[in-house]
Chains A and B, each alone.
Chain A
Amino acid sequence: MKLYIKLISASIRSRMQYKMNFIFSMVSYGVIMMIDFVLLAAILNRFDQIKGWNIYEVGVLYAISSISLSLYRTMAPEIHEFEKYMIEGEFDSLLIRPVSPLVLLLSKNLDLSRIGGVLQGLLILCLSLYGLSKEQQLVFLIAYLPVILVCGWLISFSLALFTATIAFWTQRIKDFQTFTLYAPFNAANYPMNIYPGWLKIIFFTVIPVAFMNYVPMLYLLHKGGSLYFLLLPAAVAGLFFCASLKFWNYGIKFYHSTGT
């Protein structure tokens, strides 16, 4: 952990050499991601709600999904870009060091510009909670939010690690990421009850993004479910995280170096 913190602080210092670039990219990401939500707000402003969920309730789902994915993109850019290690043969250099390759990958780089996405999510979350506070008590929801965000981060990281591991066999993973990350997280921006059965099965099992926000919010926003729903995100995230680590350790055995 000490080593990880040391490597991360070095990474932050190197990024901060270009402060203006950092600020500009962070603001751009945040503003551009906001447009997506503004479009959704325009639809819901005209049609009131989507299958029983109003704009503020959808806003909470949207914010949690957005913050979780942005946190992962901030903290693990090398996992996201893992295919370059396979294609360019850079993974060799990680294997010869006396530290786990996964720790090295996580500490190698931080994509601080993605913090703009986190801030955008937090802004939508605050606005949505303010809107909801006129109708109901939110103390319990706010107290539970840190747990949800940690679980959301773990689920997104685990999905990304699963996808990165596939690179040990396929080398390229960009096309898989659309299937395992972009599409599911886009879907998780909205309530799961709008989707057809087969999509719901996917989002509740193999790509369990529903547990990141929809399941706990069913109970916290009084839309059904029981207190037990608050335990599910942590259980699913923990299980999924352990499974992704196992899969990574299994996949690494199949790594073939590139060479001349």
Chain B
Amino acid sequence: MVYWLLFKKSFSRNMQYRLSHLINNAASAIFGFVYIAIWTGVLAGKEQKSPYSIMDMTYYMGASQCILWMTVFLTAGLGIQAGVRNGAISFELARPTNYFFYITSQEAGRIGYNALFRSLPIGLIFTFTVGFYTPEHFPAYVYTFLSVILAVGISLNIFYLIGISSCWTTEISWAHFINLTLMFSLGGQMVPLTFLPGPLSQVAGWLPFAGVVYYPVMIYLEKANSSVLLIQGGWLLFLLLLNQWITFLARQKIEIQGG
């Protein structure tokens, strides 16, 4: 199947840069240690004021650093904007494949690589330094797996949406930057949504950004029940349909010029 082939090729292409990625993993781990240190400093002697203990936050930060490589650090606009600028998108849309799956299967290959060569080594670093949480109940493993798959799906769709918007805007760097900021802040990467001020904490839980970091981590830590999978699933379905429609509109808009 062509999408599986694209997945494998993309995976292999990323294997070329394993050494530099290992260096980057060390930096990612340092980011994690910085956030763990912040929360340790903040909660020291004040754990009774917080719904989470220092160890909870240590595990939270470790897990979120791992999942970032599968859901947040994706290719800006999945590279669609480059095709729009140089005209290659007209050929890609003309291919007898679904454009959405053509693009996302390539990025999925990169995500698969990231899971093995980035998330896993970072997780091991945390395991051997500050420890890593082991869920007590078996269903947590199943729910975590499902939640991560849904998180990857939501993220791929958001990045695709930004990329395909370049058919109208050409330039997507600002949309990409704003998306990253929202994923970091409302996704709960540094601050769990519970700690966000007032109603923002409630609203953020219903937004797609919570589904890319916060929910997978909370399910893994057994601090959220499986019903949040419905929120993730709902967003994934909505974004999938939206992207199919936007792709249809983009197909109508593309003009091939030449002679």
* Stretch of A117-125, A141-149, A151-159, A189-197 lying at the B interface: A189-197
Mask of B174-212 contacts with A, CB within 8 angstroms, 1/0: 100110010011000011000111000000000000000
Known A-B contacts A46-B49, A47-B43; A175 and B20 likewise in contact (beta carbons under 8 Å):
yes
A28 to B41, CA, bound (A): 31
| Chain A CB within 10 A, most for which of B21, B31, B42, B177 | B42
Q: Is the CB of A172 within 8 A of B178?
A: no
A44 to B43, CA, bound (A): 10
Cβ-based interface call for B30 (8 A): yes
Q: Is the CB of B178 within 8 A of A32?
A: yes
Cβ-based interface call for B38 (8 A): yes
Q: Is the CB of B191 within 8 A of A39?
A: yes
Cβ-based interface call for B27 (8 A): yes
Known A-B contacts A35-B181, A194-B38; A51 and B44 likewise in contact (beta carbons under 8 Å):
yes
Q: Is the CB of B185 within 8 A of A43?
A: no
A219 to B118, CA, bound (A): 41
Tally B residues with Cβ within 8 Å of A.
33
Nearest to A44 among chain B residues (CB) is B42
Could you say which residues of chain B place their CB within 8 Å of the CB of A199? 30, 33-34, 37
Q: Which of B1-48 contact A (CB under 8 A)?
A: 17, 20-21, 23-24, 26-28, 30-31, 33-34, 37-38, 40-44, 46
Taking residues whose C-beta sits less than 8 angstroms from the other chain, chain A's interface range is 35 or more
Known A-B contacts A28-B178, A42-B196; A195 and B37 likewise in contact (beta carbons under 8 Å):
yes
Could you say which residues of chain B place their CB within 8 Å of the CB of A187? 30, 34
Chief secondary structure at chain A's binding surface: helix
* Stretch of A128-136, A178-186, A226-234 lying at the B interface: A178-186
Cβ-based interface call for B257 (8 A): no
Q: Is the CB of B27 within 8 A of A178?
A: yes
Could you say which residues of chain A place their CB within 8 Å of the CB of B34? 183, 186-187, 190, 195, 199
A45 to chain B, nearest CB (A): 8
| Chain A CB within 10 A, most for which of B37, B44, B49, B196 | B37
A194 to B39, CA, bound (A): 9
A187 to B35, CA, bound (A): 9
Q: Is the CB of A42 within 8 A of B195?
A: yes
Known A-B contacts A28-B174, A175-B20, A186-B34; A50 and B196 likewise in contact (beta carbons under 8 Å):
no
Could you write out 16 A-B pairs with CB less than 8 Å apart? A36-B184, A43-B42, A46-B195, A47-B42, A175-B27, A176-B20, A176-B23, A179-B27, A183-B27, A183-B30, A187-B30, A190-B41, A191-B41, A194-B40, A199-B33, A199-B34
- A residues near B (Cβ < 8 Å) are 24-25, 28-29, 32, 35-36, 39, 42-48, 50-51, 170, 172, 174-176, 178-179, 182-183, 186-187, 190-191, 193-196, 199
Could you list 12 further interchain pairs (A-B, Cβ under 8 angstroms) beyond the known A43-B191, A175-B21? Answer: A29-B177, A36-B184, A39-B191, A42-B195, A47-B43, A50-B38, A178-B24, A186-B31, A187-B34, A190-B34, A196-B37, A199-B30
- B residues near A (Cβ < 8 Å) are 17, 20-21, 23-24, 26-28, 30-31, 33-34, 37-38, 40-44, 46, 49-50, 174, 177-178, 181, 184-185, 190-191, 195-197
